[in-house]
A and B are shown apart, each in its own frame.
Chain A
Amino acid sequence: MIRCKADFLRADCEATEMTTDPTDPTTAIAAFRFGFGLPLPKGAPVTPATMIGHLVAPDPMDAVYPRLRLTEVAEATRTAHEAQAAARKDRSKEAAEKAAIDVVLTLAATGFRRQLARSLDSPDGLRERLVRFWTDHFTVVTRNKPNAAIVASFVDDAIRPHVTASFAQMLTAATLHPAMLTYLDQVVSVGPNSRFGKRQGKGLNENLARELLELHTLGVGGGYGQGDVRELAELLTGLRVDPGEGVVFDDRRAEPGAETVLGLRYGGKGMDPIKAVLADLALRPETARHVTGKLVTHFLTDAARPELVDALSEVWMRTWGDLAAVTGAMLDLPAFWSTQAQKARNPVEFLVASLRALGVSGADVMAATEKDFRQLIMAPLIAMGQPARGAAGPDGWPEALTDWITPQGMAARINWAISAPKRLGKTMPDPVALVPEVLGPRASERLIWAVARAESRSDGVALILAAPEFNRR
């Protein structure tokens, strides 16, 4: 097996066509731990070298399910905000407001469906899993309907293009995206001594500054204090979202003077000092440990594995936070190829894996009626504990197996496994044949025994989807 070195040259890691053998334990690990399970889409890589090769090559899904760019949603977003403001003044304009908001919601729903479709279809499952991992790391949510499509565009604009970039690039793109600036209140934060602040009596809002240090970079206990939060909040003032131009720097709102964050002084005007502090934060050893620790937790185990975090942070520091190198190093660590499945698929992963097991394609998901989509995807996600509207807070979804495999969570999964497959418009597969196809070497004797004794095809399929080996990864 050819492997990329931790500090690989990208040319060494080009994709080669592989034949995949579902009975091979390594194939199953690649599929479960780093993708959405078996059966793998045609052409899916299953070795570290080929997986990284696919990842650094162009995204095959770009042409099939195009990214929903900020530029595409900006116009509809602006229109919806204007219509909302107009309707507040004049109730006769409420119908126009509803129509404008519907356009935005349709765009947002399209973005969400495309994300599901890519996860179902892409041979590059690792990319899809990484997109979801980083999207969760930089959680953004909105309750404001006119902003719904902006949040959808955040994934495609700030996260998806940067899964093999440097962490500084992703951090900058995520922080300076309108969705983040709005979600964590940066858009209303004003330097108290700025022209605007003095005139309007407005001032700071610490929300983004704090979560940037605590969640996105250093981590709680990462050596920052209240003073750093305050200084960073001052440094971030001036950032504003303009409905027409996107994110702009407004000097009239910026706190005058230089700020000191973690002992480093940031002076000057405009975006430059903000980009500088983000670049510095991305390369702090605390950031490396915090973020690689999350990678280990997400992909491998809820248990502490400091030696793996050490190894990955070492690569992070040596490669200046090159996410392709860090991901490659993860794939190169033998611990990540352990056959022990210690994690639970979260509800989204469970649904994608189930739909794929039942032969549902991305095209099917795109073509589903709104009602079917709601009943088969959206409502079940709520019942399973991971609603599509997003996590409750900026810390994202929980990771622990016991957070998902609860009585109510399993009841929702089992319910879906019993009722949904009949409604997908697909021929119900022979469950006995389905077991090796979707579980490969992971199928237990108990499951094989039970599936053969199910009263109906549909009960047999439900047993597979409800089995521990299908829900663990």
Chain B
Amino acid sequence: MPDLHLTRRGLIKGLGLSACSAAAHPWLTSVTLAGSDGRAPLGDHRLVVIILRGAMDGLDLVQPLDDPAFATLRPTLGAGTGSHELTGGFGLNAAAGDLMPLWSAGELAFVHATSTPYRDQRSHFTGQDLLEAGGGTAAGDGLPRDGWLNRMLGVVPGLTAEIAYAIGTEALPLLQGDAPARSWAPDQDMQLSAQARLLLEHVHHDDPVFAAAVAEALVLTEAGMTGDTRSAKRDKVFADVDALVDFAADRMLAQTRIVAFSQAGWDTHRGQAQAIGRPLSRLSRTILRLAEKLGPQVWGKTTVLAMTEFGRTVRENGTGGTDHGTGGVMVAAGGAVKGGQVLGAWPGLRDGDLYDGRDLLPTSDVRAWAALAMRDLYGLDRAVLEKTVFPGLDLDWTGAKIGGLIR
């Protein structure tokens, strides 16, 4: 692997980049405008964003086996756990081994040593707020109130709510905001007589929050989007994952272009060798079932980005787990992804290489990867990415180096 030993100062100053071409349209480059016909302003490309809650240990998913310090820092995790060979001296955790065919097909990539600008406090909850808001560096006032994926939708004219779905019963700040987007859980049903429906609308008329939620629920249940949970063949262990993916795939095969949801269970403070197996197999299942349900044609136009609030400590802790850290891994999958690579500059694991003497040093801003993906998929302009979608993001220092991950 390239052992760059970048200093943070070097990172910030060194990576000059020529700006994306200036577009005639204030928001979108001419490429997208030419490709959109009004009915499908985002074109054919599908983007799925998965928020991995609890801080996924990137060093355990994509193990730097060739780094001489790794085995020492991680006596029970990593080396010797039977990983699958990737490239550049990295190995994939055995629990995610089902993904190897995708890797071989060039439809799976990883970005290593990446993070949001959040530093030092290492709070899951602030970290997730920042990841989903897409701006700011700490809790509090600087944080945008809406999610970056929603702001992305907000800059594209002519979108309907059906274009974007937040899926699950939990709130997903990533897609909350002024731009229209749907929020729904699979297997949700609502049986109302015509009269009851009219009366309900009457009762909710003066309360906008309730009126909007119920109107949306009515639209979705009447459109038959309640899923078909009983007949579908699903593995019991993965029943909820399968229900979610099937629902997402149905939407994506129709009008939907943007899907977001979250998966928890990554906070592996102890016994990580076993504990990370379950969330990893769920994530693998999610990606593989999505590929299967979408079919080759739509999967070929799909990008899945799975990102987490921060990485975990480089050293194993005293209990066979890892504590809250900084740099981590983003997973990118899909037919639209330039797969088969481990992206991102490798900072090294020697004492002087670590952030705060304990964490993997982030060498790229995870927002930059998402920004470049959206640029390449939808033609979003640099100015809008830096100012509106990810306020404070500087594509200059990271953009040239990373180059993007879309085919």
Contacts and interface: CB of A to CB of B under 8 A. Distances in A.
Interface of A: 184-185, 188-190, 192, 197, 202-207, 210, 214, 220-221, 225-226, 382-385, 392-393, 395, 398, 400-403, 405-412, 414-415, 418-419, 444, 446-447, 449-451, 453-455, 459, 462-463, 466-468, 471-472
Contacts, number: 169
B184 interface: yes
Interface string B316-352: 0111010110000000000000000000000000000
Contacts of A446: 202-203, 205-206
18 contacts: A185-B269, A188-B319, A202-B319, A203-B319, A204-B318, A205-B270, A205-B317, A210-B122, A220-B125, A385-B169, A405-B209, A408-B169, A411-B189, A454-B196, A455-B196, A459-B196, A466-B200, A468-B210
A184 B267 CA distance: 10
Contacts of A400: 171
B360 to A, nearest CB: 15
Contact of B190 (A406, A414, A450): A414
B256 to A, nearest CB: 15
Contacts of B122: 210, 226
B192 A414 contact: yes
Q: Kindly list the 10 A-B residue pairs having the minimum CB-CB distance in the complex, ordered from nearest.
A: A203-B318, A407-B216, A468-B207, A385-B169, A408-B185, A188-B319, A411-B217, A450-B199, A407-B217, A403-B171
Interface residues of B, number: 55
Interface of B: 53-54, 120-126, 138-140, 169-171, 176, 182-185, 188-193, 195-196, 199-200, 202-207, 209-210, 213-214, 216-217, 220-221, 264, 267, 269-270, 317-319, 321, 323-324, 356
B323 A205 contact: yes
A305 B329 CA distance: 39
Contacts of B321: 185, 205
Given A206-B317, A221-B139, A446-B205, A214 B123 contact: yes
Contact of A185 (B138, B196, B214, B270): B270
A393 B267 contact: yes
A354 to B, nearest CB: 16
Given A385-B169, A407-B220, A392 B264 contact: yes
Given A185-B270, A220-B123, A450-B199, A190 B138 contact: no
Nearest to A222: B121
Given A220-B123, A418-B191, 6 more contacts: A202-B318, A205-B317, A206-B324, A402-B209, A414-B217, A463-B200
Majority-rule SS of A interface residues: helix
Contacts of A190: 318-319
Contacts of B264: 392-393
A185 B213 CA distance: 39
B203 A468 contact: yes
Counting chain B CB atoms within 10 Å of each CB, the highest count among A190, A205, A382, A383 belongs to A205
B156 to A, nearest CB: 22
A205 B318 contact: yes
Contact of B193 (A393, A414, A453, A459): A459
